[in-house]
Amino acid sequence: MTRWGIIGPGRIAHKFAQDLMQVADAKLTAVASRDLGRAQLFAREYGATYTYGSYEEIINCPELDAVYIASPHIGHFDHTLLCLNAGISVLCEKPFAMNTAQVSEMIHTARGKNVFLMEALWTRFLPTTLKTLEIIESGAIGKMLGVKADFGFKAPYDVDKRTFNKDLGGGALLDIGIYPLFLSYLILGKPTKITAQAIFGATKVDESTGMTLTYAGEQFAFLDCTFMANTPCEAFIYGEKGSIAIDSRWHESKAVTVTYDDETTETFTFDRPTWGYQYEIEEVNACLSAGKLESESWSLTDSMNLISLLDAVRQEIGLVYKDFDEE
């Protein structure tokens, strides 16, 4: 049984906790919030025993194996180091941190302390993602040619919320653009060239960003993200002998369809009664049970490569988070 704690009981944490209840070898034992009353409400809803009115107090929990960090982006670095230095395993929401320097220190600390650490790229562990990789690796659609993926929704404009607030690490790229970038990396690896453009709003964060990536093997990735429109949220992987379409919304999809050059198709469906977070929870539990310090499916090297891509895109579009990029 893995005893979990949560730092930051917000919207995503509710989904995580709901799915955690469906995992046989996991239970929620602790919740930490800047508001003790909020932590107590969350704990009552999901059966946690311990509640804390500050993030820092959770490391004092006497029954804790791993912590899921769901605080705002700007807190990921500090809260991860807090737990790692206390010898507590960490599953930290994406983006892992604000930049490459922070992620590098997180990884260095985890390895120095011999403590498990993983970025919560939950899409990596979905059955649809696993099936997509299986199809590609089988050679069924031939050599990879490219990836096309989008993620967009019309976000309520509130400068006090993370999405549009630069002080909280806001902007479409870090919030949702990370998903298409993740998929391109998972399928095609690291690009040789990145070009990107963005539209900035009044709060100086990117409200829409488009990216074109090219690779040594003459492949491409066309990616985009936006807070300004409800886009299809589809993903396509193109090969020389066919293509794969991951159903909308592809980052949480339950089906993939393969279309071959002879126009025949195959659809693979993976129904679930959950949000889909249980798969990453099961991965962490399995790693901890096996004594592993990182996941082989989404390694710390993968996280470093992904944050490096995000940094490269930010450099292309001129998105600077002053309090962090000057560290």
Number of domains in the chain: 2
Is the Cβ–Cβ distance between 124 and 297 less than 8 Å? yes
Residue 102 resides in a domain: yes
278 belongs to a structural domain: no
Q: Which of 45, 50, 58, 57 is nearest to 17 (CA)?
A: 45
Q: Which residue in 255, 276, 252 sits closest to 15, CA to CA? A: 276
Flag whether 293 is in a domain. Answer: no
Q: Give yes or no: residues 255 and 187 share one domain.
A: yes
Is residue 282 a part of any domain in this protein? no
Does residue 240 form part of some domain?
A: yes
Domain boundary among 105, 120, 135: 120
Is residue 88 domain-shared with residue 131, that is, in the same domain?
no
In the chain, the percentage of residues whose pLDDT exceeds 90 is 97
Q: Is the pLDDT of residue 327 over 60?
A: no
User: Do 172 and 313 belong to one domain?
Assistant: yes
190 and 156 within one domain = yes
Q: Is residue 292 part of a domain?
A: no
| Domain co-membership, 69 together with 209 | no
- Same domain? For 63 and 113 the reply is yes
d(C-alpha 97, C-alpha 138), whole Å: 34
Nearest to 53 by CA among 33, 27, 38: 33
pLDDT digits 0-9 by tens, 37-51: 999 999 999 999 999
Report yes or no on 66 lying in a domain. Answer: yes
Residues 57 and 96 in one domain: yes
Q: What is the CATH number of the domain that holds 196?
A: 3.30.360.10
- Is the CB of residue 191 less than 8 Å from the CB of residue 213? yes
Q: 104 with 132, same domain?
A: no
Same domain, 80 and 192: no
**Arithmetic mean of pLDDT over the chain:** 97
Same domain, 64 and 99: yes
Per residue in 278-322, pLDDT (tens digit) is: 999 999 999 999 999 999 999 999 999 999 999 999 999 999 998
Given 120, 137, 153, the domain boundary residue is 120
Strands (E), the chain: 2-7, 26-32, 50-52, 66-69, 89-93, 117-120, 144-152, 193-200, 206-214, 220-226, 235-239, 242-246, 255-260, 265-269
* Domain assignment of residue 19, given as a range: 2-120
- Predicted confidence band of residue 324 (pLDDT cuts 50, 70, 90): confident
Structure tokens that stand for 7 in this block? 């730092």
Q: What is the DSSP string of 31-92?
A: EE-SSHHHHHHHHHHHT-SEEESSSGGGGG-SS-SEEEE-S-GGGHHHHHHHHHHTT-EEEE
Average pLDDT over residues 238-258: 98
Q: What percent of the chain has pLDDT over 70?
A: 99
Looking at 75, 99, 120, the residue that finishes a domain is 120
Whether pLDDT at 326 is above 80: no
CATH code of the domain covering residue 79: 3.40.50.720
Residues 139 and 259 in one domain: yes
Query: Based on the domain organization, do 212 and 92 belong to the same domain?
Result: no
User: Residue 104 falls within a domain, yes or no?
Assistant: yes
